Amino acid sequence: MKLILKYLKPFYRRMSLGLGIKVLGTVVELVLPLILSYILGTVILSGDVWRIVLFGGLMVLCAAAACVLNIIANRMAARVARNFSEKIRHDLFDRTMRLSARQTDKFTIPSLESRLTTDTYNTHHFVGMMQRMGVRAPILLIGGLGITLFMDPMLALVMIAALPFIFVTVFFVSRRGVPLYTRVQGSVDGMIRVVREDSQGIRVIKALSRAEHEHARYDAVNRALVADEKRAGLTMGVVNPIMTFLMNLGSTLVVLLGANLVMGNRSAPETIIAFMQYFTQISMAMMTLTRIFVMYTKSSASARRIEEVLATEEDLATESEEKYPVRADEPYIVFDHVSFSYKGKRNNLTDISFTLERGGSLGIIGATGSGKTTLISLLMRFYDVDSGSIRIGGRDIRTIPGDELHTMFGVALQNDFLYADTVAENIRFGRDIDDAAMHKAAAIAQAADFIDGFPDGYEHMLSAKGTNVSGGQKQRLLIARAVAAEPDILILDDSSSALDYKTDANLRRALAEHMGNTTTVTVAQRVSSVMGCDLIIVLEDGEIVDMGDHEKLLRDCEIYREISDSQMGGAIVE
């Protein structure tokens, strides 16, 4: 729980004030049974009506004061809990965005989503409950026991005798609770993963009539979650019934002993009545402590999961140029004997070496799984190479700060996203891009015509993931986004697969005409998309089979020639 205490530190002053008000309100509540006992034992016997009304009014006033003070304290507690959770969500989201691709792969996207939602909610709920009930319950418990010991030690000892059994129950159950709730959160991660996959692929699922299959898959993870929740619920559910039984047993013994004392004139009826009220308060306090204990168990598991992300150290730190010296007078992009593996068992890329001049164009082609996307992921330093080096402008990319490195790139990926906003905002993407640059980018991407065809043009609202535009229109908007900031390096990762050959050819022609100073890297399945590149790399199983221009590869590379013949019959189609 160190994480929760750390994030609560800025709110200590406000919490102290709120807790002080809560303490005052609770103490006023503790006074009520004493006043009632005095009224029954002294005031009523005096027969003074005005005195009875006076003390009755005092009880009403105390009850109202306790109510008002508790409301004020609860509102302050809610504000602290809200601000606390806002801060922790902000930092968790910020850290999530800064995780390296390898770290994101390790946590998984569904797990990160669960930590940002369910886990932060659990900690929020716990912080609020602790301020509202975590102070009130101990005061009622300890204060009630103290007053009852003063009123009648023998009756009080009957209640106290039940407390050790309650604490032992809580202790042993707590040792089981945290791991069980950690497992529950893991099952939540699995369910979120399935829901996420199915929501993204809902159209394919319907098209292939696989709804029943996906329903069965969801049922499997749902049943796993229910089973884990059942184990945790059954374990934690033991506490409340046992506490209720022990407190009821104590209450019964108090009534029996109290009746015996009254009959023997060793105690007064008003004392027993007040005592039972205190016993009710103590019982409620114990029940509240049980709820806090259950919530603590959940939030403790959630806090650990949040802390795992926040405590993850940056694994793509900027290295010094002393370690990787600048190499002047070499081509703009250099891959120098680069090898890489995602899991450290089998290389996904092996001994990749090539160079590309500034303003040049690189095409990467190969079968699915050949390592094309991995290569550009390394270029953008989503991962660090296992061996070799990658240099841009003579600087090893490990020495370039992340913000500086990533502003060099404009990227359009095949499975990139559009969000629910206007066409203009999707192209700008939160950057300071004026209307002229935006319209130019749309024209280069061959998107201007269909954008102008919308009744509201660039203010046309897109749905989440761009489901209200066609696949080809979506890809052109993504390309417009990539070129809008006039990047030093433009990466198009299979981003024209939904374009017809004519539009694809017009796009390549526009890129060559308007972005001559931009170094372009094109990953494609189509030969027509890369055949105009200065350098084309043919990948197979993570290795370069051959490289050169289109004519050379047609002549010397059998794999490239086969791809070209299968797509275009060996012809060049414009």
Q: Could you give the domains of the chain?
A: 2-310 (1.20.1560.10)
Q: Decide: residue 339, CB within 10 A, 0-12 exposed, 13-18 middle, 19+ buried.
A: middle
Q: Are 185 and 301 in contact (CB under 8 A)?
A: yes
Distance CA 532, CA 509 (A): 9
The strand pair at 361-366 and 535-540 is best described as parallel
pLDDT at 260: 76
Distance CA 223, CA 218 (A): 8
pLDDT at 571: 47
pLDDT at 471: 82
pTM flag (> 0.75):
no
pLDDT at 572: 46
Q: Are 290 and 243 in contact (CB under 8 A)?
A: yes
Residue 242 has φ and ψ, to the nearest 5°, of: -65, -45
pLDDT at 174: 63
> How far apart, in Å, are the Cα atoms of 75 and each of 18, 80, 131, 222, 497?
9, 9, 10, 36, 56
pLDDT at 90: 92
How would you label 439-477 residue by residue, b for 16+ Cβ within 10 Å and e otherwise?
bbbbbbbbbbebbeeeeeebebebeeebeebeebbbbbb
3-state helix, strand, coil in the chain (%, to 5): 65, 10, 25
Strands of the sheet containing 361-366, edge to edge, are 409-413, 489-493, 519-524, 361-366, 535-540, 543-548
By residue count, the chain amounts to 574
Query: Which residues partner with 333 through β-bridges?
Result: 356, 392
pLDDT at 339: 94
Rg of the chain on CA atoms, in Å: 35
Q: Are 214 and 257 in contact (CB under 8 A)?
A: no
Write the Ramachandran bin of 570: left for phi over 0, alpha for psi from -120 to 50, otherwise beta. Answer: left
Distance CA 177, CA 110 (A): 23
pLDDT at 106: 86
Q: Decide: residue 436, CB within 10 A, 0-12 exposed, 13-18 middle, 19+ buried.
A: exposed
Distance CA 157, CA 224 (A): 46
Residue 418 has φ and ψ, to the nearest 5°, of: -115, 145
Write the Ramachandran bin of 353: left for phi over 0, alpha for psi from -120 to 50, otherwise beta. Answer: beta
pLDDT at 110: 83
Collect the ranges in the chain with pLDDT lower than 70.
1, 159, 162, 166-167, 170-171, 173-175, 177-178, 200, 203-204, 206-208, 239-240, 267, 568-574
